[in-house]
Amino acid sequence: MKKCILSIVLLWFSYFLYAQESFVEQADKQFHKQENLQVESIIPESIKIKGPDGLLEVQLDLDNGAPFYTIHYNNNLFLESSPLGLKTSIGDFDASLTYVSHSTQSLDESYEMDKGKVRHIHYQANELTSKFVNAKGDTLYIIFRVSNHDVAFSYRVTVTDEEVTNLKVFKEATGFNLPDDATTFITPQALPMTGWKQTKPSYEEPYTYDEPMETPSLNGVGYTFPALFKIGEKGWTLISETGVDSRYVGARLGEGNKEGFYPLEFPQAGENNSLGETYPTLAIPAQTAWRTITVGESLKPIVESTVAFDVVKPLYEPSQTYKMGRATWSWIVWQDNSINYEDQVKFIDLAAALDFEYVLIDNWWDTRIGRKRMEELVKYAASKEVGVILWYNSNGWWNNAPQGPQDCMNTAPARKKEMAWLQSIGVKGLKVDFFGGDKQATMKLYEDILVDANEYGLTITFHGCTIPRGWERMYPNFVTSEAVLASENLIFNQMHTDLHAYNATILPFTRNAIGAMDFAPVFFNKRLAKDQENHGNYRKTTDAFEVATSVLYFSPVQHFGITPNNLEEQPEHVLDFIRKVPSTWDETVFIDGYPGKEIVLARRKGEKWYVVAVNGEKEQKELTVSLPMLAGKEVNLLFDKEDRTAGMKKLKVNKQGKVKLSLLPEGGAVIY
């Protein structure tokens, strides 16, 4: 009897071991089991994956246990052999790796974005998942997704020890090795606790222009995303990242060298007054954010890319349908002194006169208007069918920005109490300012604000902040972010006003290419102040240029620099255009241009096309542009008059879709 029991026990134990082994194998197979899947068990010399049209190719190699990747487009080298891998609390995954297998699958997804530069997106890509193990037997999956012009890659880590439930990613070995003839259009990373009241970094630095890669950055700590590179005569590369939420950190590029190598770097220790670690901690199984690389022989794929949204998913359902639109904003020209009840009534009336959806009321409203009178103001705006967006300081203690309201967004109890009140009085959205960092703790604050705001039906705009990293799709009530040397600098400094047109031809290829950008465009005042007789920087751009920026810059809620006096000063054809211009788009098409020189861009809403051209230089230009979408049609043309105001005339586009445009220095045109 004892022998029989022992035999049964041994048999059961053997079956248990077999079942455990089988479970691990089945789980691994299930990870790869997809349509069109191919699995390799013997390591090839190189593993290659191409985009659907076969022109974009990623090659993955293992050199003495260290993974590297290379990118070619149309048989030209766009990224030289660049390192991959992670250094973590449970071991390193950047060297001494052993190849196990790889698999490929085809991806085909259609999705809608009702607050994007494109509405209907059809994402087609090929995915490569390569499996490696380190000396401890833990697994690193390197996942590449390759479409016709975009590469996205991420890491996934699993472990053999069931007691290990999390890991810290101390550093990514990820790097980007550009060809030697590449030049840069990139912005330097700011030092922590610098700038206005120690609120940096906030992605508000100027761009380099065609600089050699070994040129040191302004502050010696590398560059922010997105980063644009001209690859000699072969084309362009834009490097960025997406899918960053409360589970990761926002990354950047380190300093480049003359060989064109840029390492990936995590946040600086001093960011947010040293709040939080510089590295992320993740639950097992762990997956990192996505690095994105967009390549093209022209700038067209850079401007039109949707990769920031293609590889992410919505994180929660919207509590309601959120309305995008246009807003008046007193502070941008009239500044702090306009934050009073009477001036805000004027800007509510301005919004109503322009058929705008919103008015933005900025800092100090809690003390200069007061909460009781704010309730009255929101009711008045509602009577005019204008929604109210209110400004908040994100701060708890991590900077010295004095503007209020403070201490309303930095903790969950305070935030929910405030948002319940905002919902009860009818406020539609918030603008939250002064973040100053990219650590996991800060990313969690962004996410917490968004998630809580959704519960109370509030949209969120961020200022003094990081770039959005796929957030338009991930967070349904996220609207837009500043994260750019924005129009407030036109008010602060004449130098920025002098460079306004030049910068307008850089941002569509860089910052605005990867996500919504709250630049706040369209200024008609000759001097940028309330009292134009004695104050304010001198505007150098034409009126047609300013109208064009309402389409050129993409932000689902567009905050305009228009002031009440402009209603009497601008002709009706200009005001009529402003009343009708959309803020979200069904299609975006790059027509022509070059950073720092000019740009021609087309956007479609429904059946109607809006084509804008701006001149970034101080010399007149005659352009002939190809607009096949308007071939044979009669359209309106807003153009530069000799006195730099905006004229309007009818234009018949020929059957070839060719249009001639004359742009004054720092001028513009709009076809609609």
Q: What is the pLDDT of residues 524-555, one digit of tens each?
A: 999 999 999 999 999 999 999 999 999 999 99
Residue 290: φ, ψ to 5°: -95, 130
Coil vs helix vs strand at 259: coil
pLDDT category, 9, cuts 50, 70, 90?
very low
Sign of CA dihedral 535, 537, 540, 541: negative
Which DSSP symbol is given to 565?
T
What 3-state class would DSSP assign to 233?
coil
Look at 9-18, 50-59, 197-206, 249-258 and tell me which has the smallest mean pLDDT. 9-18
Secondary structure element (H or E) that encloses residue 661, with its range: strand 658-663
Amino acid (1-letter code) at residue 281: T
The H or E element containing residue 102 is strand 98-112
403 contacts 464 by C-beta, under 8 angstroms: no
Assess whether pLDDT exceeds 50 at residue 20. no
In this prediction, residue 44 carries a pLDDT of 64
- Is the distance from CB of 394 to CB of 434 less than 8 angstroms? yes
Secondary structure of residue 316 in the 3-state scheme:
coil
Q: Which domains does the chain have, with CATH numbers?
A: 28-310 (2.70.98.10)
If you average pLDDT over each of 25-34, 394-403, 630-639, which comes out highest? 630-639
Q: Please report the pLDDT score of residue 325 as a whole number.
A: 98
Task: Please determine, for residue 1, whether its predicted confidence score (pLDDT) is greater than 70.
Answer: no
159 compared with 44, residue with greater pLDDT: 159
Helix axis angle for 440-455 and 412-425, nearest 10°, is 30
Give the alpha-carbon dihedral of 613, 614, 619, 624, to 10 degrees.
-10
* pLDDT of amino acid 262: 98
Residue with tokens 């001097």: 527
21 pLDDT above the threshold of 70: no
pLDDT greater at residue 484 or residue 23: 484
Output helix, strand, coil percentages for the chain, rounded to the nearest 5.
Answer: 25, 35, 45
pLDDT tens string 226-272? 999 999 999 999 999 999 999 999 999 999 999 999 999 999 999 99
Q: Supply 19's token pair.
A: 């079942």
What pLDDT digit, counting tens, does each position of 117-165 carry? 999 999 999 999 999 999 999 999 999 999 999 999 999 999 999 999 9
